[in-house]
Structure 1
Amino acid sequence: MVQLMNWAGWITAVSLWTGIYAQSSEDILSVSSRSFSTTTRDSLASETSAVSLAAPTGTGQPCGRIAAAVETSSSSYRVAVPAELAYECLTSVPLRPLAALATIDGIVKMVQFQSNLAYLKNPPDGYDNPPVDILGGLADIRNKASDNEYANQYDFEAEIATLLDSARDGHLGFDGITYAGAVRWRRDIILVSLSQDGGPSKIYNLVDFNHTSSPSPVSRIDGEDVDAFLQEEASRVAYHDPDARWNSLFYRLPAQNFGYFGIPRWYPGPTTTISFENGTEQTYTNRAILQEENSWSDVSDGDSFYSIFVDPSSARTVRRQASLRTAPHVPTRLQQVREILDDGDADVPVGYPEPYITGPTEVYINGYFMDHPNIRNLAVLALQTFDTETDADARRFQSLIEQFLAEAKSRGTEKVIIDLQSNGGGRVFLGYDAFRQFFPDIEPFGGGRYRAHESANILGTEFSRLSFSQNGVGYTSPFNYHSYIDSSNEPFTSWTDMYDGHVINNDNFTNILRYNLSDPNLTSSSTYGDGITITGYLDRSDLTTPPFAASDLILLTDGICSSTCALFLEFMTIEAGVKTIVLGGRPQDGPMQPVGGTKGTNVLDADYLTTFSGYLISEFADNATERRAWASILPVPFPIRAYEASVNFLDNIRRGDEGMTPTQFTNETANCRLRYTAEMATDPMALWGLVADVAWGGQGGGIDEARCVAGSYRRESWLEAPPVSSGGSDAEEKNGEARTGAAAANVNANGLDVRWAVAASLVFVAGVSFL
């Protein structure tokens, strides 16, 4: 058994790895240190360069002063400036009205592909968030821009981001470079939410546990009650579940992430003042970590910032282009960025024991076997992501799970914990494969659908004319009916057969779609698929016996589970009946959902949509009139640089749900909720031991209800008592009989990235050149 470092030693190690800086009353940048101070309230911050701003050589403008600091920096670390200075720079960037109006028009075209607009505007009963009219909100922003009501580019971009974030769907967003791409905000304090006595949690400064065995809880932040302040901060996070939003604010060991309080997506103000219950108080200067530092050298003011960072035609900026083999891309809103990096094995989280099964850094999966007083050889599979960079990494991911299960069986393992804490998703077919490795005898439903609208119909009508011999990418795209099969595993006969589906909640949708997992072009092809054959299909169809019964498995989450993670959990719980335990949540009793992130199953990036549309306009239009008509409808490149822009393309629709409500709008609670203690938050082995005790220590070997947070225990699995849809509007079927169907999109997504990305150099064999 590996001895873990104690809390104090671990905090020391964190500070050594992340760097500690001091602030003075002078206008200086962060000063990095590699030593650990035990005499002051230490800061936890990313390593940054030491550069003085006392005598800048720039223009005197805020942006110019930052540029001067970058020029005089000789450090290899990121440059950090006071947050107030960065905010002054960003809010000095002028708004160019024509570009702003065209940006909104472009976002409206992109958002037409958002699968659940009608449900966001008119959510079913039981949904935890208020309605939001995305298209109406964009119209309001356009009107304000037209009336010159925005003082600067930053305020304009911030309002767009805030509107789309209010959808609580991590696949939907538009983050402009001024708002989200030029700097990353930092508070110089990291918080944790812990229960000392099993009661409601309190908030602590993480490093205080290195100074005293009895750290004082935080009582107020910037003069406001700590819980009220943090609830307001959490409301700005894009998770749909309020408990997941709460958890996302704090340090999380599995993700090696300091949380949104320490690393907010929004400007946190110039300082943060923390008051403690023992009467002490500390004020911290907030900072901004510069991104794309090489682009700052010619910045002198807000106008030059716009030219260099915002204008997409600038040669100084880098734009991610859609391509045939786009690497898997998890939207930043879902990424659990690892802020702590060890000089040693980066594939194992800092503070974790050495795993028995582990992958390289690119394949973040680890398997453990541990002794337990009441369980023979307890096993833990830690899956913090389904995201891999390459097809080879995807195959390695598949192989590691296979190795883990084989080793578990050879050891006579009785129980398995599947730890999904802070899992932002990844490749969708890795979620399918992981499920089928545990349950090769169950065919997952995986039903989906997308929104039917004019742009989709134009793309689908035209691309459905293509055959595979003409071009495999176009043939297997999401806008070609050949990519899909119906619920009876039969192909659709035409684009109209697939596309003309249902009117539900006053909006139009395709028929239900499923992935054809027996199609090698979709799965095992390295050209069109993910480069893996999913367990249970093709040459892996001989695996038919589950290695463990559902009752011998437990799923562990902290609510921060999105996209492919949500789909995997859906399969494990709804299809197989595995139970769930969830950690943390708001300082109150009651249940909590194990999935707090998006439950959508495929993201489409704006670059993909504009590339595909551009090809269609240039090559498929019969004449100039048709080209102009299509260009007025289909997505086109934005006139400003987007740091990130995407939509959720596919809803997840549950088997047997006659109302066909997207699972994003259903409320499913875990079987048991536990509060974090200090030991659980810093010692994975202690956490897993407790989870095992709770999961199998109750009556009849089931969950120990007495150890769950009051009001959070649920006896039945979701298979035994399926969650009820949160309502939903009556469906008027567009073509008569409703069709349960199935989607076979050629996807490389976690519900996340798409392998439908198109290469500008692709050429059709049948005489049609691609762009």
Structure 2
Amino acid sequence: MRTIAALQLLSAAKLIAAISFPPLAALAQAQGDTTTAAPIQAFYTAPPNSSTSASSTQTVNINAATPTGTVTAPRTVTYTQTNYTPNPSVFSTACAEISSSYASRLSVYSSRASTDSTVIYPTRVPVRPREAWDCLYSIPINRELTLEFISGVSKYLQFQSTIEYLKNPPANSLQEPVDIIGSLEELAEQVRSGDIAHHIRFEVAFRKLLQRCHDGHLGLSFNSNSLIAFRGPFSLISISPDAIEKPKVYVETDLLEFGLDAAYVTKIDGYDVEAWIAEFADYGSSQSPDARYNDVFANRDPGSDGTFYTLYGWYPGKNTISLTYSNSSTHQYDYLAYARWNSALNWDGIRTGEDFYENIVLNPAYFQVSSSSQEGTVNRPAPEPKDPGALYHVHKHSDKKAKRQMRTGIATTTTSALRSAPTQDLPQLVYFNEPYMRHRVGPYVQDLNGIIGGYFLNDTLDTAVLDISSFSAADDDAEFEIEGFQAALTTFFAEASRRGSKKLVIDVRGNGGGLIALGFELYKQLFPAAAARSYYRIRTHEGAQIFATAAEALASDEATKDLVELIERIGLENINGDDTPEALEVALAINSGFSRQNTLDINAKTPKDLKTWIGPYTIDGLVNDTVSLLVENNFNFPLQGSDISGFGSRSEFANNPKPFEKEDILLLSDGTCASTCTIFAELLKREQAGISTVVMGGRPNDGPSAHVGGTHGSRVLTYANLLRNSRRVVQLYPPETEAQEEYLVENIPLALPFGFTYAAINFRDSIRPEDETATPLQFALEPADCRLYFSPIGFTDSVYLWGELSKLKWGTGSEFEGCAVGGLQKGEGSTGFVPDDPEVVEIVNYILQPMKTPA
């Protein structure tokens, strides 16, 4: 293997430019060349519908049986027949009409704002779905740049830890085989041949390819998603009358108004409702099909409208959807669409599809790494913080679930000396009996950012409840997340001891992850004396080996020692890119994920050298791939700038008694537990065997269901992270010859031609060291002990649900007669594998039917 050490320290302006700027006019300018990009060629064809359009408004009746008989509930429905044939004039005017609507709406608010300082500008304007799709469909395709994107993005995707496993997934994983690189090659061929002749068709096909991998850490959102959003007409919910009987599908507003007497949905667009939803849900990000099924529906804890409403952001291929109800009535409803904008991307200057391409598709507003000392961010054009202990603040994403999962990848610092200096002016970290999120009663205790709520159900077996729907704050700009979380937990457990509470329900429904430190912190406060071992590895293809070599060159044992001494002398807060640039580079290299310096092997030793850490080691068995040494976090180093309880400045915490016995803890989930949440759940399962688990909802098949169904990946890396590593490589080892330059171009990520608001891969696989096959936990779906469906009151009232689960597990008198599957008596668990999806129909005119990912 050729290593980076063979490259000589000479000029590499061409390569640095390709890393630092989007490769278009900016790349030419960086090289002193005023040549512009080639003209953009447009190839227009009709969207995926034909014939004529018509619309009408009528009042329809939905019959709902009530305890006193049958009543007729009026509902006004405007429906538009969906088939139409656009013409060139439609393509030339659609974007202009949306832009005009946008300008008109803002002018109204600007006028109000001149006299009223409290006016809040809207962030979206309703538009017709057909018009929105016409605008997107009119965006021209530039074959050359699209092929450049496909070639370039493949080098990012090579860092995806499961790329070889996805090609040949383990049995019982319920993951269909997905050849990411092979599918990219097929997409490239479709672009070359003209089969994909519109830019939006390529975007959707690429996104669908990644979504088929069912990995919440793997994804890319193009800029177009920030300008136009498609929505369903309303939300659906899945409800069982008693949490045990198979659930029915209801329109949310119908159920809330009429209860179980409301007519339920039996068909969607003429197809069996369960089959339609099963196929629709297959684009969800969770590994568990039951978790994906849950995602389709609205939820109260945490609040969610469901993907039936959000549509994954796609145009549904038509303008209306029909629902058939249990009373045999069938009704059509309009899909919705909105023109959106934000501070970085808006509709100014967009009149045509060509304008959209130039201003939005090629806009790097969220993702640009300059050749200066500042390094890029994702989803914010702000410079990277100078403090290496605060690096995690740049890893943000506007979508809440993606943000939580994304922040699982937050970097660790270097040694115990790299702890943030104590803050003298801490705000109030803990609040008592304050309103909290979505429950009818406020918690006894919560942290200042509302990450956790602690409750005491004194009328139910002295049960305490921790409600944790995320391991990060909802506010992107939140501060003191770790400090507040630690303080609230400590306060809550102390109060539980004072009250004599012996039982604990931990509710992680909807928890998509967040800060790694908080997952470990919760586990250590529950079990202070226990080890917190969470093992991982990375994929060590050629690009990873190059980055690891560069990280070792920067963060050698000697350089790390010097950094520690410097921080002890001047303090962490004074390590920055202006006064101590070399020290900052060492800290960033250690935080990159490719360094061995803050890891421990299974013998609790730091890998002795680069070869020991990076290998590469060959996987025997299911796949043909190479990986790193199996390691864990070294908690003698702070995690995300703070010490975990039991280590460093909080080492005395290990002497505290555990607040609850493991047999008195119940973990409640809806299967969507992902990222940091899976790290915490895995610690409970592996280190504290016997803790009971309950999972809610899922497919109506009465089979076992996984309580942890989201991505088990233990660190995400954004494209900005990876591009940053490429820049360091070229700065350290600029190529001397064309052959050396070609070697780097073929193996490390460079800037991409299209802008995007979020792009990341799963970098680390969680592995159980006792597993002889060393299979990533992403492919393990393990049933919960008890499965229940959502009942009406369980859906609307979490406090009620917690109390009934407590009585079911530890007492008597629960309104739940048992579990739909499995049981909670004496630790009894459900047996068998999570079942496969039932066969689903091929849905005609299904979401973007002509844009399916190549097989």
Which TM class, normalised by the smaller chain length? 0.7 to 0.9
Q: Return the alpha-carbon distance in structure 1 between the equivalents of residues 822 and 301 of structure 2.
A: 27
- Aligned AA for 1:708? C
Asked if the contact 2:141/2:199 (under 8 Å) is kept, the reply is: yes
Q: Return the alpha-carbon distance in structure 1 between the equivalents of residues 831 and 770 of structure 2.
A: 10
Structure 1 partner of 2:465: 380
Where do residues 293-332 of structure 1 align in structure 2 (5 Å cutoff)? 295-312=346-363, 320=380, 323-324=384-385, 325-327=391-393, 328-329=395-396, 332=399
CA-to-aligned-CA distance 1:577-626 (integer Å, 9 cap, x gap): 22110101111111100111100000000111112212321343253644
Structure 2 partner of 1:188: 233
Which stretch shifts more, 292-301 or 260-269? 292-301
Find 1:539's aligned residue among 649, 653, 657. Answer: 649
- 1:270 and 2:319 are equivalent in the alignment: yes
CA-to-aligned-CA distance 1:82-132 (integer Å, 9 cap, x gap): 222211211111111111111111211001111111111111121112111
Structure 1 partner of 2:444: 356
Where do residues 215-230 of structure 1 align in structure 2 (5 Å cutoff)? 215-230=262-277
Change (3 A) 1:723 1:452: farther
SS in 2 for 1:93: coil
Change (3 A) 1:550 1:105: same
Change (3 A) 1:346 1:716: closer
Asked if the contact 2:403/2:514 (under 8 Å) is kept, the reply is: no
Change (3 A) 1:566 1:249: same
Q: Return the alpha-carbon distance in structure 2 between the equivalents of residues 331 and 511 of structure 1.
A: 34
- 1:286 and 2:335 are equivalent in the alignment: yes
Change (3 A) 1:236 1:715: farther
Structure 2 partner of 1:52: none
The count of corresponding residues between Structure 1 and Structure 2 is 656
* Superposition RMSD in Å: 3.1
Find 1:142's aligned residue among 180, 185, 188. Answer: 188
- Aligned AA for 2:286? Y
Change (3 A) 1:722 1:509: farther
- Aligned AA for 1:565? C
- Aligned AA for 1:114? Q
Asked if the contact 1:667/1:723 (under 8 Å) is kept, the reply is: no
Structure 2 partner of 1:590: 703
Deviation at residue 561 of structure 1 after TM alignment: 0.8
Where do residues 13-32 of structure 1 align in structure 2 (5 Å cutoff)? none
Which stretch shifts more, 459-468 or 580-589? 459-468
Where do residues 580-619 of structure 1 align in structure 2 (5 Å cutoff)? 580-619=693-732
Structure 2 partner of 1:565: 677
Change (3 A) 1:351 1:314: closer
Q: Return the alpha-carbon distance in structure 2 between the equivalents of residues 346 and 301 of structure 1.
A: 51
Q: Return the alpha-carbon distance in structure 2 between the equivalents of residues 357 and 399 of structure 1.
A: 10
CA-to-aligned-CA distance 1:134-163 (integer Å, 9 cap, x gap): 111111111211222212111101111111
- 1:61 and 2:109 are equivalent in the alignment: no
Structure 2 partner of 1:118: 164
Q: Return the alpha-carbon distance in structure 2 between the equivalents of residues 510 and 131 of structure 1.
A: 24
Change (3 A) 1:246 1:131: same
Find 2:128's aligned residue among 82, 93, 97. Answer: 82
- Computing the radius of gyration from Cα coordinates, the structure with the larger value is 2
Change (3 A) 1:461 1:420: same
Find 2:509's aligned residue among 409, 417, 421. Answer: 421
Where do residues 692-707 of structure 1 align in structure 2 (5 Å cutoff)? 692-697=806-811, 707=818
Deviation at residue 260 of structure 1 after TM alignment: 0.5
Q: Return the alpha-carbon distance in structure 1 between the equivalents of residues 283 and 234 of structure 2.
A: 19
Unaligned runs of 5+ in 2: 1-53, 58-71, 78-88, 110-120, 369-377, 386-390, 405-432, 564-582, 836-855
Find 2:625's aligned residue among 487, 494, 507. Answer: 507
Structure 2 partner of 1:672: 786
Deviation at residue 716 of structure 1 after TM alignment: 4.9
Structure 2 partner of 1:434: 522
- Aligned AA for 1:707? G
Asked if the contact 1:394/1:531 (under 8 Å) is kept, the reply is: no
Change (3 A) 1:573 1:551: same
CA-to-aligned-CA distance 1:691-723 (integer Å, 9 cap, x gap): 11222248xx9x9996111457796589xx999
- Aligned AA for 1:262? Y
SS in 1 for 2:720: helix
- 1:484 and 2:599 are equivalent in the alignment: yes
- 1:72 and 2:159 are equivalent in the alignment: no
Structure-2-length-normalised TM-score: 0.72
- Aligned AA for 2:96? G
Unaligned runs of 5+ in 1: 1-23, 28-37, 44-56, 338-344, 524-529, 727-771
- Aligned AA for 1:192? I
Q: Return the alpha-carbon distance in structure 2 between the equivalents of residues 181 and 481 of structure 1.
A: 38
Deviation at residue 319 of structure 1 after TM alignment: 5.8
Greater share of residues in helix: 2
Q: Return the alpha-carbon distance in structure 1 between the equivalents of residues 668 and 403 of structure 2.
A: 17
Structure-1-length-normalised TM-score: 0.80
Work out which structure has the larger RCO, using CA pairs closer than 8 Å and 6 or more positions apart in sequence: 2
Asked if the contact 2:547/2:729 (under 8 Å) is kept, the reply is: yes
CA-to-aligned-CA distance 1:263-304 (integer Å, 9 cap, x gap): 111222311222211233332211123232662121111111
Which stretch shifts more, 306-315 or 222-231? 306-315
Q: Return the alpha-carbon distance in structure 1 between the equivalents of residues 509 and 286 of structure 2.
A: 14
Q: Return the alpha-carbon distance in structure 2 between the equivalents of residues 622 and 586 of structure 1.
A: 55
SS in 2 for 1:295: coil
Which stretch shifts more, 82-91 or 277-286? 277-286
Structure 2 partner of 1:517: 635
Structure 2 partner of 1:649: 763
Asked if the contact 1:308/1:314 (under 8 Å) is kept, the reply is: no
Deviation at residue 493 of structure 1 after TM alignment: 1.6
Change (3 A) 1:314 1:201: closer
Change (3 A) 1:391 1:303: same
Asked if the contact 1:607/1:637 (under 8 Å) is kept, the reply is: no
CA-to-aligned-CA distance 1:533-575 (integer Å, 9 cap, x gap): 1011112222232111001110000011110011111111221
